[in-house]
Structure formats: structure tokens, C-alpha cells
Amino acid sequence: MEFIQFFGDVLTLEIMLVLVLATGAGLVLGAMPGLSPTMAVALLIPFTFHMDSATGLVLLGAVYTATVAGGAISGILVNIPGAPANIATVLDGHPLAKQGRASEALHYCFISSFIGGVIGVVVLIFFTPPLAELALAFGPAELFWIAIVGVTVIGSVGSKSVVKGLLSGAAGLWISTIGISPIFGEARFVFSDHVTGGVHVVAALIGLFAIPQVFQLLVTAREKNTGSLYSLESHRLIDSIRYNLRRFKALAVGTVSGVIVGIIPGAGGQIAGLVAYDQVRKFSDDPDRFGKGEPDGVIAAESANNAMVGPSLVPLLTLGVPGSPTAAVLLGGLLINGLFPGPDLFTVHAQVTWTFIGSLLIAQGLMLVLGLGLSRTSSYWVMRVPSHYMAAAVTVLAVIGTYSIQNSYSDVLVMATLGALMYVGSRYGFSAAPMVLGIILGPIAEDNFQMGKMIAETGEGMFSYFFLGTINIILVTLCLVSIVYSVLAEVKQRRRGGTVVDAGVDRSLAGGLGAAVLSLIVLGAAVFSGSGEAFFFPRLLAVIMTGLSIVVLWDGIRSLRSSDVREAARWRDIGAGSTVIVGYLIVLEMLGFYASSFLAFALIALCYLPLRNRRSVLMLASVSVVFIGIVYLSFEHMLQVMTPRGILF
């Protein structure tokens, strides 16, 4: 077999050195919010220009594999997924960390990622031709329903209220339509120059997850006065391995979901993780445990998003059709090296192709070893950082990650605005995960809907094109089953008296009123902003949002309860933190990144320190300011040469 014949080429010193460095770098890059696998691979493509074809592809493949798993580190520890593929991991991974089981959760993450990743590569090796034929069966209608499946699944399982989860997902889909229509070229809902280019996915991901977490850390800092947000319990690695291997159901569901979703062009790891999470929850004997720190949720999600890596390369290598956004960037890496997808890759360039595939197998093992070592260190230090320091650090890192995408101050403002709105929404039971996924999958859903609509209008009609056919029927059924199952589970929970409804008259009723008002504003914007085909999809979303918001409002009226006495104190803390963040954004352009970031970090940290500790911190801060000033003045010219001019200076 050719794979075995060329596997020895992977074990050369040069390839192994590249694999170790690329895997380690991928884990670190993946753990940084904003640096998705797609961006990490794109950033490293220039480094392959002076490498031979095999070594360059090995570098990109190892980074791809490692960043998918590494994104779970920040998701589990600070509730900020490093990449969209790790959204499902956060649902149970972060609650585990809050219980002091961060190391345990990271163990499950890397062990299940290894198992799923190895099986995914094996599928790539043995089943490439038949899977490539299956990928061709997905047209615009099927890809549209794939996107809708992703939103409905996370809306159903990623929120305590099914209706609020679906409303958040619909809102995310609508937000993705802001900007210039990619098909019709018309501007839509550009109410400010800052959103002319639309809402960037990474800016939304960081804002919707990071900023609410900052506010939560500020509340915790005030309530606990000192100390970190979480406790930390030790957990033996051997116990994690034994437990993980016993969770055969979660591993099987996650791996199979990842393989199937991976071969679908354009689907990506975010859908794989969510579908696996939804299915393992449905098969569970006690689905109520999910969302509260259930290890099976982490195992299924992580085995799925890594099992997706290998199959996502099947349509890429055989047909030139990427199975994920990162695979699309890898296509560029292939073309740059003079390699064109098709039969020639497995005949003329067989050595390069099989060396690349073999390196993916080795990369899974390296990811496991390095990831387990990193999990112990990262959880130990992050869990011990006091909440006020963590809030300050996350704020600055959120700005860094957002600005670095396009060197745009507008992205920073959009990130902060979405994050502030999401925190308010989270106080009333709305979830960030469905909204983020809606923004990510919005372009896939709209583009394929519009293309499918054009095809249907010239042939069999909308109903036949979108609702008939084996794959369409399966996907529509999956959407309906997810919604109905979650609704029945929520009703059952309420009847048992264990419902998690919005406590407080103002919180519950205000949440429904706010959702209704915002939905009506969106509906008005969709109706009166313009006409034509470019506004058909967002107008449809606005109608759906309005209907769901009416249900939320009615539920709020029915569940009026006594107010939470701690709410006023919490909002006082949020007001203080918000003032610092808004001030940070205002002075960012005037003082530059370094000075304004230092001031923001110091203010947030000092506001929540006990009075007796502030004098020493102020003294340390003064010395740091002088030192930074000397370094900055000494190397200003060199830094300006190395860094593009703009907000940084």
C-alpha cells in the first residue's frame, strides 16, 4: 500500500522537527481568542515559500490539527472559545472548570481529540474515493439546510430556553446580512460607517464571549473581594484516560458526526461539534446534566471537531472542493506549491501527498502529548489568577485579537458593542453560542438559499427543490427533531419544578420587552431599508425573530416573580467596569495602544483590589510606566519600521 510505502519519509529529522514546532505553535495559537485555525494556516503560508512541497504541507497540516484542539484551552478556562469549532466544547467544559475540574476537562479534550483525529485520518487514507462522490451530492439546498441544522441545534441545546436560543440564532443570522450583499452588491442596514464591511466573524466571536466574561469576572471580584473565580482540584491523568476510554458512546457519536460533517463542503468543525453534542445529549440517560459540567459533552464535541479534519481534506484532494474554511486555505497552499487537486496528487505527486497524510497521523500523537503537558500548566496558572486581574487581561487581549484581524478600529467598536449587548441579554437568559454560530453560518445559509431560489424558480419550484430529496428530508427532519426534543425536555423540566426561568419581575418582563422592541426595530429596518432580492432573506429572518420575541414576551409576563435583591449592586459594578472599557476605547486612538491598554488594565485591577494592597500596586505601576516609557522612546523608530502605522502608535 502506498501509505505504508511513503510513511518512512515522515520520520526524517527535518519533517519530525517541523511537526513538533508546528504542533506546539498550533496549540498556542489555537488557545488565543481570535486566531482561528483558518487564520493560523493563512498566516503560515508565506513561511512555506522556501520549503519543499512536502515540508510546507506538513507544516500547514500540523498547525491545522493542533489549532482545532488548542482552541478548547481558552474555551474551558475562561469561557472564550479559541475558534468557532470549540463553541460546543464551552457548553460543558467551562462549567467543569468552574467546579475546579479544569485539568480534568482539558484531559478529556486532548484524549478525545486524539482518538477522533486518528480515526478521521484513517478515513482519509482508506475511503477517499467513495467519500468524494458523496460530497458531490450536496448542492445549494443541502448546504442551506446544513447551516440551518447548525443554528437550530445550538439554539435548542445551547440555551436554557429553546425559544430564546432560537431567537439568538436568528438574530445572529440577521447580523451576518449587515454590509454589502455578496450576490447582489447592495448595501444593507449600514447605519454607521463602522459596519460598512459587515460584522467580522472573529470580532463577533471575541465580543460575544469575552466581554460578558469580563463583566462576570468584575461581579465576582466585588462579591468575593479577592481570589480567583474558580477553585482548583487535582486530577490524575491515568484516571482521565480510563474514564475517557469507557465513554464509548460519546466517542462514537462524536467521531461519526465529525467524519460525516467533514466531507460536506463548507460545513466546518463548528457544525461537527454541535451535531455531536446534540446527538450525545439525546442518547444520554440523563440529558439534564448537559450544560452543567457533563464530561460526555466535552468528549463528543472535541472528538467530532478533530475527526472532521481528515475527511474535510477528502473533497479537497480529489475534487478541489474544500470541506471546511481551513481546507480552503490549504487549497491555496497546494496551488502555491504547484499541486493541483485530482488524480495526479495520488499518482504523479504520490510521495508528497502520502507524506502529508502520514504527517497528520503523527501530528495527532504530538498534539496529545504536548496538549496534556500544556493542560496541567495552563490550568494551574489561569485558575489562580485573581478575578480583577483576569478581567483586565481579557479586556486587553480582546482588543488585541480583534484589532489584529484587519487593523481596524471599527472592528474593536463592533466587538465591544456586541459584547455589551450580549451581557445584558445573558442576564435575561439569552445565549451567546447560537448568536455567534448564526453570524458564522449566515453567509453559507444566505448564499446557498439565494442560489437555490434562483435554480428553483427556473425549474421545479421552491418547495420541491428545498424540501424533497433524501438528503433534504433527513436534514429538515433533524432540525425538527432537535427543536421538538428540546421543547419537550424543557416542558418536562418545568413540570418537575426544576425550570431555570428568569428570576425577578424586571429581569423576566424586561427581557421579553427588550427582545420584542429589538425585533420590531429589525423588522422595520428590513421592510423600509430597501426592496429587491437582496432584502428577501433578512426580511424573512426579521419576521421569524418577531414571532419568537412575542413568545418570549408572553413567557415573561407569565413568569413574574420577586426581584433579586443583589441585582442593583451587580449593575453598579457593571457600570463601573463599563465606564473603564468605554473610556479605554475612546482614548485608544488618542494615546495609542500601549499606553491606553496599560491604563485600562491598571484601572480595572485597582478598582477591585482591597485598599491595603493598592499602595504597593501603585508603586509597581509607577515604576512600570517609567520603564515602558524609556523602552518605548529608545526603540520607537525601530518599532515603527517593523509595525504598520495606525492605532498601535
Average pLDDT, the chain: 75
Domain end among 500, 518, 537: 500
What percentage of the chain carries pLDDT values higher than 90? 2
Asked whether the beta carbons of 543 and 525 are under 8 A apart, the reply is: no
| pLDDT score recorded for residue 566 | 46
For residues 19 and 367, what is the distance between their CA atoms, to the nearest angstrom? 10
| pLDDT score recorded for residue 322 | 64
In sequence order, what are the residues at sequence separation of 6 or more whose Cβ sits closer than 8 angstroms to the Cβ of residue 247?
295, 296, 299
User: What is the enclosing helix (H) or strand (E) of 259?
Assistant: helix 248-262
pLDDT above 50: residue 614: no
For residues 424 and 420, what is the distance between their CA atoms, to the nearest angstrom? 7
In a domain, 556, yes or no: no
What percentage of the chain carries pLDDT values higher than 70? 70
In a domain, 535, yes or no: no
Q: Say whether both 150 and 242 belong to one domain.
A: yes
Domain end among 500, 516, 531: 500
In a domain, 548, yes or no: no
Domain end among 500, 524, 556: 500
Q: Please, which pLDDT band fits residue 378 given cuts at 50, 70 and 90?
A: low
In sequence order, what are the residues at sequence separation of 6 or more whose Cβ sits closer than 8 angstroms to the Cβ of residue 312?
262, 263, 322, 323, 324, 326, 327
| pLDDT score recorded for residue 418 | 87
Return the percent helix, strand and coil in the chain, to nearest 5. Answer: 80, 0, 20
Q: Region 473-487: what's the mean pLDDT?
A: 83
pLDDT above 80: residue 347: no
Instruction: Identify the domain containing residue 604 by its residue range.
Output: 567-642
In a domain, 649, yes or no: no
- Taking Cα atoms as reference points, which of 165, 173, 180 lies closest to residue 537? 173
| pLDDT score recorded for residue 294 | 87
pLDDT above 70: residue 396: yes
Q: Say whether both 475 and 604 belong to one domain.
A: no
Residue positions counted in the chain:
649
In a domain, 251, yes or no: yes
Asked whether the beta carbons of 422 and 211 are under 8 A apart, the reply is: yes
In a domain, 541, yes or no: no
Q: Say whether both 597 and 473 belong to one domain.
A: no
For residues 67 and 114, what is the distance between their CA atoms, to the nearest angstrom? 13
| pLDDT score recorded for residue 633 | 46
In a domain, 560, yes or no: no
Q: Say whether both 496 and 572 belong to one domain.
A: no
Q: Say whether both 495 and 627 belong to one domain.
A: no
Q: Say whether both 496 and 578 belong to one domain.
A: no
Q: Say whether both 609 and 463 belong to one domain.
A: no
| pLDDT score recorded for residue 44 | 77
Neighbours of 576 (CB within 10 A): 15
Q: Say whether both 9 and 113 belong to one domain.
A: yes
Q: Say whether both 285 and 203 belong to one domain.
A: yes
| Tens-digit pLDDT profile for residues 63-78 | 888 888 888 888 888 7
| Tens-digit pLDDT profile for residues 546-587 | 888 887 777 766 655 444 444 454 555 556 566 666 777 777
Q: Say whether both 206 and 354 belong to one domain.
A: yes
Helix residue spans in 313-386 (DSSP H): 314-319, 325-336, 350-382
In a domain, 527, yes or no: no
| pLDDT score recorded for residue 248 | 86
| pLDDT score recorded for residue 606 | 62
Q: Say whether both 164 and 299 belong to one domain.
A: yes
For residues 232 and 234, what is the distance between their CA atoms, to the nearest angstrom? 7
| Tens-digit pLDDT profile for residues 149-183 | 878 876 666 566 788 888 888 888 888 888 888 88
Q: Please, which pLDDT band fits residue 433 given cuts at 50, 70 and 90?
A: confident
| pLDDT score recorded for residue 246 | 86
Contacts 24+ apart (CB under 8 A), 294-297: 294/92, 295/92, 295/96, 295/104, 295/105, 295/108, 295/243, 295/247, 295/250, 296/92, 296/247, 296/249, 296/250, 297/88, 297/89, 297/91, 297/92, 297/93
| pLDDT score recorded for residue 505 | 34
Domain total of the chain = 2
Q: What does DSSP say about strands 187-188 and 179-180: parallel, antiparallel, or unpaired?
A: antiparallel
